[in-house]
């Protein structure tokens, strides 16, 4: 049965920020060392950054890159990773030695090469308000005080001018080093935010949060005057201990209420009349959690190989199928729909582990989720417009990993336009594992006709993936010709599309 969608570009729902397509990179496994920072590799530039990886990052126009963690940050001391003397330290979060050769200045240099905003997450685990605000001094003061003078002595006369800062990472969780209670958190964030904004009132501050009333009420009652953002994280296929990844249908079950956390926090912000002042930064998200078994296990008899070797399982490219592409598109659609309150989202991580780019000594693999970012940042508009249907919304019943039968919407459609040029661009996802779906788009066009082009990510099967010497998932282009008020398309199963009407 054809599903008819009406689109009215005059009904603007919101302006979505390019920062919805942000990314995250952490000192974990091969994201930094032997990842983006690989000075010995002939594929790296004079600064030690992999050119091939940076080219792939540039193609998806990263707007903002969050660093250095993640759990890593909660016992990280930035001062030991600037200047000529770098002392390796034992990273107590991930239980490995960090050489400290990639620190603040290398990170800023990387962001400049990628033309993206830096976004620094500070240590609110073992760190202090003073250490956090010293970091702002080092990055943002011209020359006042000892830290700006250190930066100049390290060769960076011009301030790094880091605008985006986050206080802490998941300090609400027992797994986090320096975990805090809601009361402790409110006080620590307030004192840290005070000092950081005294150094540079121009910075924008976020703080670790989750869709929990007590945590957020305490945080916001203490700190709303100092905060510009509130941070959320989300991983759906939780496999930190057992690498038993959800199959395609189980992943589709995760798309049910995919923006639940956003709606919960929206409610709290609105109840406190803060929804216009504080935006949501969904600054870690991915369908799949990272696999790092036994890292929090402190019982005797657990050896390094028990928790270090299994991390390589994140590198299995066959894990990242059309399920990852479809989920990624549904998440990005949801964030666009909530663009009035979600101002940033950071895919976790961008490189290796569960990232959209996989790197090896001789090159890279663009995983299925990478192509969704390519599709959205390069072909979708930045102004969300209204769409509706008078048909019954097609639903599919899929089995959740917990065995429950979950009814999810089969289609996920987002209509957009640009704020600086005519035309429209529609993202359309068909989640069905086997069935195609015909869609009839009816558009208010003021008598205009359009040149229509469809950019699609389909995969041969729902389990298609890319690997070294295997290319099953990419963007295919189809020129559809001229259309006016109507456009009828068939969406293949397990597929993501952006249809441009210019």
Chain residues binding ligand AHR by CB under 6 A are 26, 69-71, 169-170, 233, 284, 289-290
**DSSP of 150-204:** HHHHTT--S-----EEEE-SSTTSTTSTT---HHHHHHHHHHHHHHHHHH-TT-E
Angle between the N-to-C axes of helices 213-223 and 182-199, in degrees from 0 to 180, rounded to the nearest 10: 30
- What is the residue whose two structure tokens read 């504080």? 278
Least Cβ distance, residue 71 to ligand AHR (angstroms) = 4
- Name the minimum Å distance from CB 121 to ligand AHR: 9
DSSP for 353-392 reads TT-SEEEETTEEEE-HHHHHHHHHHHHS-SEEEEEE-SSP
If the CB atoms of residues 125 and 159 are measured against ligand AHR, the closer one turns out to be 125
* Closest distance to ligand AHR from the beta carbon of 146 (Å): 31
Closest CB to ligand AHR among 207 and 426?
Answer: 207
Nearest to ligand AHR of 9, 125 (CB atom): 125
Distance CA 165, CA 124 (A): 12
Q: Rounded to the nearest whole angstrom, what is the least distance from the CB of residue 69 to ligand AHR in the complex?
A: 5
Minimum distance from CB of 428 to ligand AHR (Å)? 31
Tell me how far apart the alpha carbons of residues 441 and 426 are, in angstroms, rounded to a whole number.
10
Residue 251 Cα to chain centre, angstroms = 18
Question: In terms of CB distance, is 170 or 374 closer to ligand AHR?
Answer: 170
- Residue 264 near residue 214 (C-beta atoms within 8 A): no
Which helix (H) or strand (E) covers residue 106, if one does? Answer: helix 104-114
Residue 201: how many other CB atoms lie within 10 Å? 8
Give the nearest distance from C-beta 30 to ligand AHR in angstroms.
14
What whole-number distance in Å separates Cα of residue 198 and Cα of residue 411? Answer: 48
For residue 324, the minimal CB distance to ligand AHR (Å) is 16
**67 vs 156 by CB, closer to ligand AHR:** 67
Closest CB 354 distance from ligand AHR, rounded Å: 8
91 vs 134 by CB, closer to ligand AHR:
91
The helix/strand/coil state of 99 is coil
Dist. CA 480–CA 422, nearest whole Å = 18
| Residue placing its CB nearer to ligand AHR in the complex, 89 or 418 | 89
Q: What is the DSSP string of 227-276?
A: -SEEEEEEEEE--SSS-----HHHHHHTTTTTTHHHHHHHHHHHHTT-TT
Please, which residue, 152 or 179, has the CB nearer to ligand AHR? 179
The CA–CA distances, whole Å, from 194 to 223, 280, 478 equal 9, 20, 54
Q: How far is the CB of 348 from ligand AHR (least distance, A)?
A: 7
Query: How many residues appear in the chain?
Result: 502
Residue closer to ligand AHR by CB (options 169, 410) is: 169
Q: Cβ of residue 219: shortest distance to ligand AHR, in angstroms?
A: 17
169 or 368, CB closer to ligand AHR?
Answer: 169
CB of 442 to ligand AHR, least distance (A): 43
CB of 175 to ligand AHR, least distance (A): 7
Residue closer to ligand AHR (CB basis): 246 or 380: 246
Q: Is 452 helix (H, G, I), strand (E, B) or coil?
A: strand
In angstroms, the first-to-last Cα distance of the chain is: 28
C-alpha 41/C-alpha 48 separation (Å) is 8
Geometric angle at alpha carbon 214, from 406 and 286, rounded to 5°: 40
Of all residues in the shown chain, the one whose CB is closest to ligand AHR is 70
Burial per residue of 411-442, b for 16 or more beta-carbon CB atoms within 10 angstroms, e otherwise: bbbbbbbeeeeebbbbbbbbbbbeeebebebb
Nearer to ligand AHR, 36 or 427 (CB): 36
């Amino acid at each position: 049965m054809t599903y008819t969608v009406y689109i009215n570009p005059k009904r603007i729902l919101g302006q979505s920020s390019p920062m919805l397509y942000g990314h995250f990179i952490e000192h974990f496994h091969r994201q930094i060392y032997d990842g983006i920072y690989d000075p010995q590799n002939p594929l790296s530039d004079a600064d030690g950054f992999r050119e091939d990886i940076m080219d792939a990052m540039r193609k998806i126009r990263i707007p903002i890159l969050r660093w250095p963690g993640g759990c890593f940050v909660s016992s990280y001391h930035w001062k030991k990773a600037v200047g000529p003397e770098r002392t390796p330290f034992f990273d107590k979060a991930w239980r490995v030695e960090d050489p400290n050769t990639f620190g603040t200045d290398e990170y800023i240099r990387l962001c400049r090469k990628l033309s993206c905003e830096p976004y620094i997450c500070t240590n609110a685990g073992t760190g202090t308000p003073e250490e956090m605000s010293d970091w702002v001094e080092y990055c943002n003061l011209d020359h006042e005080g000892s830290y700006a003078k250190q930066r100049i002595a390290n060769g960076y006369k011009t301030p790094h001018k880091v605008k985006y800062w986050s206080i802490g990472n998941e300090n609400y969780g027992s797994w986090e080093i320096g975990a805090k209670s809601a009361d402790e958190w409110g006080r620590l964030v307030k004192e840290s935010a005070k000092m950081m904004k005294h150094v540079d009132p121009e910075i924008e501050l976020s703080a670790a949060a989750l869709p929990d009333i007590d945590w957020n009420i305490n945080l916001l009652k203490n700190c709303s005057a100092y905060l510009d953002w509130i941070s959320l994280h989300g991983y759906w296929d939780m496999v930190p201990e057992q690498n038993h990844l959800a199959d395609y249908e189980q992943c589709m079950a995760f798309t049910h209420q995919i923006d639940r956390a956003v709606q919960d926090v929206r409610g709290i912000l609105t109840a406190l009349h803060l929804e216009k002042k504080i935006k949501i930064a969904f600054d870690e998200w991915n369908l799949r959690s990272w696999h790092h078994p036994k890292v929090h296990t402190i019982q005797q008899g657990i050896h390094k190989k028990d928790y270090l070797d299994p991390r390589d399982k994140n590198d299995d490219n066959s894990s990242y199928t059309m399920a990852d592409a479809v989920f990624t598109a549904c998440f990005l659609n949801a964030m666009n729909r909530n663009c009035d309150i979600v101002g940033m989202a950071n895919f976790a991580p961008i490189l290796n582990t569960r990232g959209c780019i996989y790197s090896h000594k001789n090159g890279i693999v663009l995983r299925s989720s990478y192509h969704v970012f390519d599709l959205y940042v390069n072909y979708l508009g930045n102004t969300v417009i209204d769409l509706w249907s008078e048909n019954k919304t097609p639903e599919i019943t899929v089995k959740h990993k917990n065995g429950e039968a979950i009814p999810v919407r089969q289609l996920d459609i987002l209509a957009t336009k640009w704020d600086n040029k005519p035309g429209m661009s529609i993202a359309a996802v068909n989640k069905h594992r086997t069935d195609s779906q015909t869609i009839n788009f009816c558009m208010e066009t003021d008598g205009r006709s359009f040149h229509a082009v469809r950019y699609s990510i389909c995969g041969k099967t729902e389990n298609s993936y890319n690997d070294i010497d295997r290319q099953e998932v990419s963007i295919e282009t189809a020129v559809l010709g001229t259309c006016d008020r109507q456009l009828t398309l068939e969406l293949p199963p397990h597929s993501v599309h952006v249809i441009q009407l210019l």
